[in-house]
Structure 1
Amino acid sequence: MSKLPSLKNLYYLVQLHREQNFNRAAKACHVSQSTLSSGIQNLEEQLGGQLIERDHKSFMFTALGEEVVGRSRHLLAEVQEMTDLARCAGEPMAGTIRLGCIPTIAPFLLNRVVKEVGQQFPSMSLLLREDTTENLIAALGSGELDLLLLALPVDTSGFHSMSVGIDPFKLVAHKEQPMDGAIEYEQMPDESIFLLQREHCITGHAISACEMQNSTKINPFAATSLHTLVQMVDSKLGTTFLPQMAIDAGILNGTDLQVYQPPGEAPYREIGLVWRQTSSRLRTFRTLGQMIQSLLPTKAD
């Protein structure tokens, strides 16, 4: 059998593709830049083809390089799954879980999740990553993460998902701009509702869940975080929607904001776990999901 490429060199290549910079990729791999460069050159020699076109200032991946990166991601993910299977064969609630979470959930729920894991499963540790839904789905598919905590629905083609609860939406306004009587969106001023940037899935979920059809009511300025939204509404610029978990976590503390029930049938977003279909840790993830369910309300609550 001819000598096979090393997993280490394949990992170097994948990280270089992700970072698009030799120095950053080397830091991500915890090696020197020369070590990473040599590893990729060895990989090219073993495969008998050019993976990267280089000059003294820049580089680009060849068509072969792109193909090898894609196959390497799947291969590395499979190896990680095999390693996890062997490590946790006798103790499913042990070992390390690389958990990704979106920014509109992470600051308000992960601390409680980590504490519960520490109490119920002391042999398990969580490595946390906060990012947008799109980036987290890509990282899960490439094997960089094991499990995601997201707001549903999202396109989870090729993945398993499990609902763990709901997170109601509330309308928030300054106390000097009271919402007297029944709230009707059509009666609100144009461009008076502030939301997050479109890359945050909570914007689409809020618009859909709250049945807000008139886009003229939405201000074209989009905030980058829920904390920014709170500051804007506290400055009497308008109103916004906030998830209940953020309110419960104290995001309105120190403000002059009041919480109202939006129109419609108790709007909410669904919270769920997502993992690869090929994962061998189904029992582990479902047990974690059941634990998280105890921290969130359900539709029946």
Structure 2
Amino acid sequence: MSKFPSLKQLHYLVTLYETRHFGEAAKQCFVSQSTLSSGIQNLEDLVGCQLIERDNKALVFTTTGEEVVVRSRELLARTQDMMELSKSGEDQMAGQVRLGCIPTIAPFLLGDLVQAVNRRHPQLHLLLREDTTDNLLSALRNGDMDVLILALPVEISGMHSQIVGRDPFKMVISKNQASKVNVPLRYTDLPDESVFLLEKEHCLTGHAVSACQLTSKEKINPFAATSLHTLVQMVSNGLGSTFIPQMAIKHGLADNPDLVILDPPGQAAYREIGLVWRPTSSRIATFQSLAEIVTELL
């Protein structure tokens, strides 16, 4: 009978990959360093090839080691989903749900979502994490998150998703600049390098540029902000204009006498908001109930 690696060995390997330090990995796995090292050595023996190159100063994962880490994460996530099956007969709206949300949605939705969940499902506890789309999707695949709230479309690589609403884009422009353009607004009326956007790590940049049909790259300022609040502050100081989602405006982000809110050129521009989860999860009923609440809030 063939021998198979244990989940514990796979957990050791993944943790070592994330920490790149045997001592820290052992600490996070609550074992001694020798136990962790021995477990990984046994894993290499079972796989039949070297996964890690070791020396006194550093460790490097081999190409095979990198692939084994990817598959180990998938197995660990699927195992976690399997363990949730034991709770499938219990109240789906009880227990903990680890929910991730991107920074251009989280400040304007999560507070209301938590209050709504507390009222309707007091036994359900949301553990929240705000991060970029790429980081959250990685955490979801690895089993570190249960469900995400993202702006779509985005590549979700086999995950399941459910659209819960649309969030229109508005153009926020300084009062000074607004006095020099005609309505409806045309991008050709704007000075070069006068449109400010978020850093590329934020998917809102791509969604806004695409939805609002901004094709003139010379209109975009090379400076990239880290948050919507920074964008609004720059525009309010007369530096140009930017795109802001309606949910942010609804929550007062653009409440400033030095700002003017206009519809962007072209047809109605918006981003879709959706929930994303692993197809192997047993908490689909929970996620669909959350989706209903988010739809109402949007």
Distance change (3 Å), C-alpha of 1:198 and 1:38 = same
Distance change (3 Å), C-alpha of 1:23 and 1:130 = farther
Q: CA deviation at 1:118?
A: 1.4
Q: 1:42 corresponds to which residue?
A: 39
Aligned to 2:214, the other structure's residue is in SS state coil
- For the residues of structure 2 that align with 1:289 and 1:257, how far apart are their CA atoms? 33
Scaled by the length of structure 2, the TM-score of the pair is: 0.89
Q: CA deviation at 1:180?
A: 4.5
Number of residue pairs matched? 293
- For the residues of structure 1 that align with 2:2 and 2:32, how far apart are their CA atoms? 23
Q: 1:92 corresponds to which residue?
A: 92
- For the residues of structure 1 that align with 2:26 and 2:252, how far apart are their CA atoms? 40
- For the residues of structure 2 that align with 1:147 and 1:254, how far apart are their CA atoms? 35
Q: 2:14 corresponds to which residue?
A: 14
Question: Is the 1:80–1:143 Cα contact (8 Å) retained in structure 2?
Answer: yes
Q: 2:171 corresponds to which residue?
A: 171
Q: 2:264 corresponds to which residue?
A: 262
Q: CA deviation at 1:175?
A: 2.2
Equivalent of 1:223, from 222, 225, 231? 225
Q: CA deviation at 1:224?
A: 1.4
- Once the two structures are superposed, what CA deviation does each residue of 1:220-279 show, in whole Å capped at 9, x if it has no partner? 211111111112112211100111111222223466322222222221111001111222
- Once the two structures are superposed, what CA deviation does each residue of 1:33-52 show, in whole Å capped at 9, x if it has no partner? x7356324323225415432
Greater shift, 119-128 or 184-193, is seen at: 119-128
Q: CA deviation at 1:88?
A: 3.6
- For the residues of structure 1 that align with 2:34 and 2:67, how far apart are their CA atoms? 19
- For the residues of structure 1 that align with 2:224 and 2:281, how far apart are their CA atoms? 37
Aligned to 2:238, the other structure's residue is in SS state coil
Equivalent of 1:207, from 189, 206, 209? 209
Q: CA deviation at 1:177?
A: 2.6
Distance change (3 Å), C-alpha of 1:186 and 1:121 = same
Question: Is the 1:100–1:130 Cα contact (8 Å) retained in structure 2?
Answer: yes
- For the residues of structure 2 that align with 1:218 and 1:283, how far apart are their CA atoms? 43
Superposition CA RMSD, Å:
2.2
Q: CA deviation at 1:151?
A: 0.3
Question: Is the 1:9–1:40 Cα contact (8 Å) retained in structure 2?
Answer: no
Q: 2:162 corresponds to which residue?
A: 162
Distance change (3 Å), C-alpha of 1:102 and 1:21 = farther
Q: 1:299 corresponds to which residue?
A: none
Q: 2:185 corresponds to which residue?
A: 183
Aligned to 1:14, the other structure's residue is in SS state helix
- For the residues of structure 2 that align with 1:267 and 1:100, how far apart are their CA atoms? 25
Q: 1:291 corresponds to which residue?
A: 293
Question: Is the 1:230–1:252 Cα contact (8 Å) retained in structure 2?
Answer: yes
- For the residues of structure 1 that align with 2:196 and 2:21, how far apart are their CA atoms? 37
Question: Is the 1:88–1:95 Cα contact (8 Å) retained in structure 2?
Answer: no
- For the residues of structure 1 that align with 2:25 and 2:128, how far apart are their CA atoms? 20
Where do 5+ consecutive residues of structure 2 fail to align?
A: none
Distance change (3 Å), C-alpha of 1:287 and 1:187 = same
- Once the two structures are superposed, what CA deviation does each residue of 1:178-217 show, in whole Å capped at 9, x if it has no partner? 2553211111111110001112110111111111221211
Where do 5+ consecutive residues of structure 1 fail to align?
A: 297-301
Q: 1:110 corresponds to which residue?
A: 110
Greater shift, 161-170 or 45-54, is seen at: 45-54
- For the residues of structure 2 that align with 1:149 and 1:22, how far apart are their CA atoms? 34
